[in-house]
Amino acid sequence: MDRFPLNPEQRAAVEHGDGPLMVLAGAGTGKTRVLVQRIAQLVERGVEPWGILAVTFTNKAAGEMRHRLRGLLGEAADAMWIGTFHATCARLLRRHAERVGLTRSFTIFDDDDQVKLVEKLLKEHGLDDQVSPRTVLGRIDRAKNRNEDPRKLKVGVFDDVIEQIYPLYQAQLAKENAVDFNDLLLKVLELFAADGVGNRLRTRFRHVLVDEFQDTNRVQYDLVTRFAAASRNLTVVGDDDQSIYAWRGAEPRNLLDFDRDFPDAAVIKLEHNYRSTQTILDAANGIIRHNRDRHEKALWTDRTGGDPIELYQAGDERGEAYFVAQSIRRLLDEGPHSPNEIAILYRTNAQSRVLEEHLRAARVPAKVVGAVSFFERREVKDVIAYLRLLQNGSADSAFERVVNVPARGIGDATVDRLRAAARAHGTGLLEAARLAARGEVAGIGAAPRKKLHGFVELIDGLADVVAAGASVAETIIQVVDRSGLRAKLEADDSSESRDRLDNLAELVSTATDFDDMETDEVAGTSGRWTLDDDVVETESGAEERAEERGDGEGPRAGVAGFLERISLAAPADQAAVREQVVLMTVHIAKGLEWPVVFLPGLEDGLFPSLRERDGTSEDAALEEERRLAYVAITRARQRLVMTHARTRMQWGKIQIQTPSRFLDDLPAATLATSVRSSRPQVPRGPRIVDGNFAPRRPNRFGRGSGARPRDELDQRDDYDEPVYSVEDAAGSAPTRGPFSIGAAVSHVLFGAGRVVAIAGTGQDQKATVEFANVGRKTVFVHYLHAGDDSLN
């Protein structure tokens, strides 16, 4: 069997026999390799593939693990249970749905579905002016992450709202045969208490392996320990230094205290890093060593040295964004890097706006990951709602979304009467619409009755398409055509409507890929598993035997499988189709890596964030921020650029910023320049007008207002074109003029050029220079060097 070379610590983890194992895997230390080869070794030792459960946190990680195992084990990898917590639990629930009050066709409410449901409930009970849907859902989520009743978590604020709304929320989910993401896990926990099923689940897997264990919450911890209760063969891989999801319920103590809960666990540390240079690792180690609540470890690599970390202080956020954009533009022009080898990582999504503007003006191809995802776009959500209604006629939330999309004259008053009829008859809204179409609902006149009849016929016709065996892609095409969505968007003929049509076309392409993959899986699984010459049966009467071998209710096909797949999609699973620089938060970037990484916004209050967090001490919050910085730094393989601004616009006012305290933790030997300078290395950047850099105009700020104008805090602002002053790498003053028109000059940021105009006198003297690399710029003369005339 093909093997990759292993270092001694990796080999010890791979070859560990039975019993609990904790692998403390630092960033870039090859944990995926260890997991994959450990699983392969288990199979070589005689463990049945279908007796192995491997749990990850992202679809991408699960796909990568399965791909590597196919290379090592062939078809045996397809019999294993490899997936995210939610995908694994969804698969189990399909088999045993009836034991927890569901049917096998249950649907999964995504974030948008949950918000709309709570929004409706708040409005129906006159509470929508008191609290937002997201506040309510946040309370519900935090409680469910701990397997607690949200009504029992009394915090004083909105307790009465939670008391009233939560049971209604759960009742509506039950009515629609639906679950939210938390319920996927909680209902599997319920299965452990069910007669017969619970014991089967406890003995179902001989080995359980969990990746990113530091990110598990209390419910996930309970799940994996119950799956491994009988065998005690539980392998957990994680890094407490990368535990950055406490805000969504992660319990770092699950990893920190694992050897307390399993005192006989073997503990192996992976510290040999294969990703980054030693300079980058020294910077990461310098920051994280200040945390107290951690397992002691330090990353190291054979790749000694490396480019020093670059630090830049800008005048404001525009100057920072300009510097980042121009630096990337230079990297792309001069090589050897391509756009998809560069990432910009930030602490908050709000930082992306000014960065996007300057990247666009610098003609840098870029993509923001984790903003409005493809599946959250309105037209895509509309088509998905049609599919949900086809899959589950009781999906009232889907009915309400599409009954008047595109507009067909069915208003709120009609829907209100349908709700009343549904309550009276104990049915869903679609069935109430059927009653109304037959004239059996009071208060609905002939005109809306006719429109409802047309909608019911539309849904029934689409259901016939599905029943006839249409692929998911063909079903979506029929939805777009028969519903009138295509005709409406084509009739609008605006740039927005054309974009929406393109998105629907992309949805069809996504469904086509899904259909093709399902066809390949079905073709590849037919009759493949034999054991002692006993072919695994797949008829319903042999379901239990098939389950033992990993077949049975596998990944779902058709509309139901497609809906499940997109419901479980995560922001980090978004892929850049063409070469683009990516922008994303550090939280989303975890697990990813790039040759070049830019980290803007290294300022106290921004990174680290110093906001108070419910139920978290100030010290614990700062330790999580330090872990976040560690994660950000270790995303870089070769080059790391960190920037911060002296001022930043917040809520319409200029705020003076303090450089991040984390910069003080960086070893001096890792830095290219001094962290702090008396003046900004890059002042504020030019304004963006119509997607291009615009010249500045004289400042007309009145002196009587409370807000301080930017020119009092920054460089002079009495010029027509942007003026840039950049200190050289040593921090010393460059050789100064005087320069005459036509003189050859050089600038530390813009390179070689020739003076084409001079203006002003003394310290305010400026030169307009035609630079070879970046074109014409206006700069202060005292930041120009005398150039080599032969180079111009």
Q: Which residues are catalytic?
A: 31-32, 211-212, 242, 635
Name the E strands within 7-130.
21-25, 52-56, 81-84, 107-108
State how beta strands 785-786 and 744-747 pair. Answer: antiparallel
Cβ-contact 311, 664 below 8 angstroms: no
Give me the DSSP letters along 206-236: SEEEESSGGG--HHHHHHHHHHTTTT--EEE
Cβ-contact 288, 627 below 8 angstroms: yes
Cβ-contact 511, 546 below 8 angstroms: no
Hey, CA dihedral for 341, 344, 347, 350, is it positive or negative? negative
Cβ-contact 662, 681 below 8 angstroms: no
Q: How far apart (Å, rounded) are the C-alpha atoms in residues 234 and 253?
A: 17
Count of CB atoms within 10 A of residue 489's CB?
22
Give me the DSSP letters along 256-311: HTHHHHSTT-EEEEE-B-SSS-HHHHHHHHHHHTT-SSS-----B-SS---PPBEE
Q: How far apart (Å, rounded) are the C-alpha atoms in residues 665 and 282?
A: 10
Q: Closest Cα to residue 145, out of 214, 217, 85?
A: 217
How many CA atoms does the CB half-sphere of 578 hold within 13 Å? 3
Cis bond upstream, residue 738 (ω within 30):
yes
Amino acid symbol at 185: L
Cβ-contact 117, 109 below 8 angstroms: yes
**Token pair belonging to 490:** 């084509």
Q: How far apart (Å, rounded) are the C-alpha atoms in residues 184 and 141?
A: 13
Q: Which residue, chain included where needed, has tokens 């004259």?
A: 409
Q: How far apart (Å, rounded) are the C-alpha atoms in residues 785 and 733?
A: 10
Q: How far apart (Å, rounded) are the C-alpha atoms in residues 18 and 232?
A: 8
368, containing H or E segment: strand 366-368
37, containing H or E segment: helix 31-44
Q: Closest Cα to residue 459, out of 389, 551, 382?
A: 389
Q: Which residue, chain included where needed, has tokens 């399993």?
A: 262
**136 burial type by CB count under 10 A (0-12 exposed, 13-18 middle, 19+ buried):** buried
